[in-house]
Structure 1
Amino acid sequence: MIRAVVIDVDDTLCLTEAACFDLENEVLALIGAAPMSRAAHLATWGQPLLEAMPLRSPGVDLAAFSAAYPAVLRAYVEDGRLDVVAGENLGALDALTAQGRALMLLTSRTETEVEHLLAPGHALTGRLAAVYHAGNMRHAKPDSRAFDELLAATGLEPRQCVYVGDSPGDAQAANGAGLRFVACMQSGVRRREDFAAYDVDAFIDAFPEVVEVVSRLEAPADGTAPASTPIGGDAPGPMRPARTRP
């Protein structure tokens, strides 16, 4: 049984590339750095932010960028310009939970970039078993070791988990760790051909399709319905929320 659905944030749970392009250029303008082109942003989309910025804006002062970024990020979130989780996506999360699956986020974002998603009262509060990010992971995608902390904390086998992401780097990490992988194509940034080098268990055109796809992936070859076992029943270990570093 697929016991855990692990989900990327950017352009998977939320459509964010265009908003992040505007946000980052606003920060670059604040610190007097060269603006990036949309082509440069797309070419490096999916990389950890501070690794991508020198490619997006050559010569950028990363210390100055890091200092100015949080305030602009907060303003975008408060204005509803970034990280809006659509109602239908929340419904899909609830449907996955009703099927007995644990839900987790795994992203290359920093702790600063995810803290608003973990705040009390956020729509995701209470829906997630754990959140893994650059603050509590030793390795970042596309390194397959990005899943080390998740697998160790839950005691799950890789094939009991499916990762839902939008980039070839997501596929590479999931493949290397032995997880099943579902490619979300909703943003339109990627094409199916971009994943040709990787094993993709399914493509979805919109995130809510993940509910049906995950059920289909675990269906036995003979077409009989899989037995449903609630999370925590016979799992090798208990689900424990990921903790951020102090």
Structure 2
Amino acid sequence: MTPFAGIRCVLFDLDGTLIDSAPDLAGAANAMRECRGLAPLPLERYRSHSGSGARGMLKVAFGVEPGHASFDALKQAFFDEYQQRLTLNTRAFDGVDRLIRALSGAGLPWGVVTNKGQRFTVPLLQAMPLFRTAATVISGDTTPHAKPHPAPLLEASRQVGLAPASCLYVGDDVRDVQAGRAAGMSTVAALYGYLGPDADVAAWGADRTISAPEELLKWLELP
């Protein structure tokens, strides 16, 4: 029997799990560098930090982190720049199309729970027809707390009308697994996402790991 036999809803992180947004996140950071007379950096410098959004991009691009005197101003400039290029080069990962269609075909509701702000999440998903069947979309500012706090996942389960124990959460960051476990959900770690070189996935405590989106179908026993 599959370990996820009782799952009635699948929830996903967004960046690094459903979509590869690294090119547009890096593009926004590089545009800021060029405006300041700095040379652009290669995408691979940014990729493993993409799951951290503005915080990760600004760390790579300018070496600043929260608490630095210029961080808040740079973060706002980054948000404004990124909003102009949300879907220029952002794509669903290979296999996500098949995965979402299989879930929908099986009558299994699915949704998105991300730390990305609503100002970005909503227009991005609306621009990608594949994701318009989501039963719920929870952004980083939908609830008072972001992951790894369980509040966003609990709100998602409330919106779909299912107990947290009936939901599975899939993500590519330790915060995703922490949030899922705290919410009482089963968890899957996506190894194809934005894992940094020091990520110790085995220590996260996820119920399963997948190396490609379609592998989730095997654990759910879906064709």
User: Which one has the largest radius of gyration?
Assistant: 1
Please tell me whether residue 142 in structure 1 is matched to residue 148 in structure 2. Answer: yes
> Of the candidates 78, 96, 105, which is equivalent to residue 103 of structure 2?
96
**Contact kept? 2:24, 2:85, Cα under 8 Å:** no
Tell me the TM-score normalised to structure 2 length: 0.77
Residue 46 of structure 1 aligns to a residue whose secondary structure is helix
- 2: CA distance between counterparts of 1:39 and 1:12? 17
Contact persistence 2:148–2:175 (CA under 8 A): yes
Moved more, 90-99 or 29-38: 29-38
**Does residue 1:21 correspond to 2:57, yes or no?**
no
CA contact (8 A) 1:163 1:182 kept: yes
Matches of 1:188 and 1:147, distance apart in 2: 21
Structure 1 residue 124, shift from structure 2 partner: 3.1
Matched, 1:169 2:179: no
- Give the counterpart letter for 1:74 in structure 2: Q
Residue matched to 1:30 = 35
Partner of 2:161: 155
Give distance in 1, aligned partners of 2:194 and 2:54.
24
* Contact kept in structure 2, 1:117 and 1:124, CA below 8 Å: no
Equivalent residue for 2:191, pick from 153, 160, 185: 185
What's the CA shift string for 1:193-231, capped at 9, x where partnerless? 612333222211111221222238xxxxxxxxxxxxxxx
Tell me what 1:4 maps to. 9
SS state at 1:189 partner = coil
> 2: CA distance between counterparts of 1:28 and 1:115?
27
Query: What is the 5 A alignment of 1:1-246?
Result: 1-30=6-35, 41=46, 44-47=49-52, 49-52=53-56, 55-56=59-60, 57=62, 58=64, 59=68, 60-63=70-73, 65-67=75-77, 69-75=79-85, 77=87, 79=88, 81-82=89-90, 84-86=91-93, 88-119=95-126, 122-187=128-193, 189-190=195-196, 194-215=200-221
Contact 1:30 / 1:68 at 8 angstroms: preserved in 2?
no
- Quote the Cα distance in structure 1 between the aligned partners of 2:212 and 2:159: 30
- Structure 2: tracts of 5 or more residues without a match: 1-5
RMSD of aligned residue pairs (Cα, Å)? 3.2
Structure 1 residue 131, shift from structure 2 partner: 0.7
Q: Deviations over 1:6-44 (max 9, x none)?
A: 011111111233542333232344367898897985675
Structure 1 runs not aligned, ≥5 long: 217-246
Aligned equivalents of 2:48 and 2:18: distance in 1? Answer: 20
How much identity, in percent, do the aligned residues show? Answer: 24
Task: Give the number of aligned pairs.
Answer: 211
Give the aligned residue type for 1:62: D
1:212 match: secondary structure: helix
Q: Is the 8 A contact 1:6 1:106 kept in 2?
A: yes
User: What secondary structure is seen at the aligned counterpart in 2 of 1:203?
Assistant: strand
Distance across 2 between alignment mates of 1:6 and 1:186: 17
CA contact (8 A) 1:14 1:85 kept: yes
* Residue identity opposite 2:108 in structure 1: R
Mapped partners of 1:168, 1:179: distance in 2: 14
Three-state SS of the structure 1 residue aligned to 2:10 is strand
How far apart are 1:46 and its partner, in Å?
A: 2.8
